[in-house]
Amino acid sequence: MEELRVLVPNGMLGYGFPLEDFERGIKRQPHGIVVDAGSTDSGPQKLALGEMTCPESAYYRELATMIPAAKEAGIPLIISSAGGDGTNEHVDLFVEMAEQIANEQELSLQVAKIYSDIPKNQIDSALQSDKITEMQNVPQLTQEEVEQATVVTAQMGAEPYLALLEANNQPDVIIGGRTYDPAPTAALGMYYGFDPALAWHMGKIIECGAICCVPAEKTVLGTLRQDHFLIEPMSPHSKAMPHTVAAHTMYEKSSAFNLPGPGGTLNLENCEFKAENDRVTRVSGSRFIKDENYTVKLEGAKVVGYRSITVMGVRDPILIDQVDEALAYVREQTKKELPEEYAQSQIIFHPYGKNATMKNLESLADEVGHEMCVIAEVASPTQEMAQLVVNRIRTTLLHYGYPGRVATSGNIGMPFTPLEIPLGKVCQFNVYHLLQIEDPIKQFPATVQEVGK
């Protein structure tokens, strides 16, 4: 095969895409459609609570377009990190959606699914045999933390996808659990015999759709050849330019030159980004350096309590001048009046107008606005307790007779009811570690089923 064309309708399943760009891409006769659905960006609560990144209807709508298009073209559709977190539960839900679509549109489909949940007893024994290392800036993993995590997934590499593509009866649709984003494209590249390094690098760029183009769009076509690959947006108004594609290689990554993933590191030090024409960029020179031991990244999150907030506006300059002292007083009073609850709670003030967003990274720490919004955040073992503590914080600041006060009717402006707002469970990433595994295929169990007519 001379070239492999991979169509990515959008960088994140569920975020939408222009139908005309997708159709333009299908007309280019791609050899596969790949869409990633995963992210940790919206925080730990989705993984900890089993929530998905987008509403089910958003996923359904897009799958209902892509599945028949892929089936008609006779090419595989690969969805990775189902639901965002890629848990087995969400993989199953995506397979159910595929079945429903097959029934509705009278299609007969081979649907494969790959699980990525890691049994906790495997993690425990890996801990005991030193096969787990923490990522930089992450605390060492303990058995207790593993237990507290709702579910632990691992980011699979290309191997489980490659095994399915190589199967006698190649599936029409592959629904993958938690996956390193470029892996499905890398698997397609390897399946058709292309340089794995170029396939990994192309996957890294196109997994975000046409974000690497100007203006940033949704749908992108990656064309992989023997010694280079091409990036082309499917919107005719958008361009992939060498420096924008190169810049995208940096996006959300620790390094622009070394991108570690399952099984090895993509090294881009000798890469060249050149204009193929005014809207297509050619990339070459990528290298893939295999690890001696195969590792995958574990992800887990736990529930740490319940959170309540109160939102308070401050306009009085006399109070703004001493807001740090006033908040310290409120904290001290709360501790005195509710010692047991205080001991079990975390209280964080977000003083918007004074370093709330950047905290200790702020360089303009002493420049304060003429008005402020102070949000008090309280996390406690129960919602009731969080409500109690945040109520005490609000009422204490409301009536505090701070030095120099001239107004005695109330110190804060309150925009919302309820005045104390319960936010429900609060979560935290507590597993973000590398696990050494023996077999990158067997670790992620795959099954194929026939759905539809």
Partner 1 sequence: MTQLRDYARVIRSKNSGPFELTFDILFDNLEDYEHFVASKVLTKESFAKLYQIKVSDIITFEYVKPARGIKITIPRPWSQGSVGESDMHGSQQYANLLTLEIPEK
Binding mask 123-162 for partner 1 (x = CB under 8 A): ------------xxxx------------------------
366 lines the binding site for partner 1 (CB under 8 A): no
Stretch that binds partner 1, among 67-75, 173-181, 302-310, 436-444 (CB under 8 A): 302-310
Contact flag: residue 323 with partner 1 (CB under 8 A): no
> Is there binding between residue 57 and partner 1 (CB under 8 A)?
no
Query: Which residues sit opposite 277 in a β-bridge?
Result: 280
Among 45, 100, 322, 395, binds partner 1 (CB under 8 A): 45
User: Taking CB under 8 A as the rule, does residue 428 contact partner 1?
Assistant: yes
Contacts 24+ apart (CB under 8 A), 53-56: 53/12, 53/14, 53/83, 53/84, 53/85, 54/12, 54/13, 54/14, 54/15, 54/84, 55/14, 56/93, 56/97
Q: Is 216 in the site for partner 1 (CB under 8 A)?
A: no
Shortest Å distance, C-beta 247 to partner 1: 4
When the beta carbons of 171 and 209 are compared against partner 1, the nearer one is 209
Nearer to partner 1, 159 or 377 (CB): 377
Give, as ranges, the residues between 265 and 294 that touch partner 1 (CB under 8 A).
271-273
Under the criterion CB under 8 A, does residue 15 sit at the interface with partner 1?
Answer: no
Is residue 360 a contact point for partner 1 (CB under 8 A)? yes
First to last CA, the chain: 33
**Closest separation between CB of residue 176 and partner 1, Å?**
20
Cα angle at 289 between 288 and 290, to 5 degrees? 110
Q: Is 377 in the site for partner 1 (CB under 8 A)?
A: yes
Q: Which is nearer to partner 1, 2 or 278 (CB)?
A: 278
The interface region with partner 1, picked from 80-88, 112-120, 173-181, 354-362 by CB under 8 A, is 354-362
Residue 303 engages partner 1 in binding (rule: CB under 8 A): no
Among 228, 307, 392, 394, binds partner 1 (CB under 8 A): 307
Q: Scanning residues 324 to 353, which ones bind partner 1 (CB under 8 A)?
A: 346, 348, 350
How many residues make contact with partner 1 (CB under 8 A)? 48
- Interface residues with partner 1 (CB under 8 A)? 40-45, 135-138, 242-243, 246-247, 249-257, 271-273, 304-305, 307, 346, 348, 350, 356-364, 377, 379, 426-429, 432
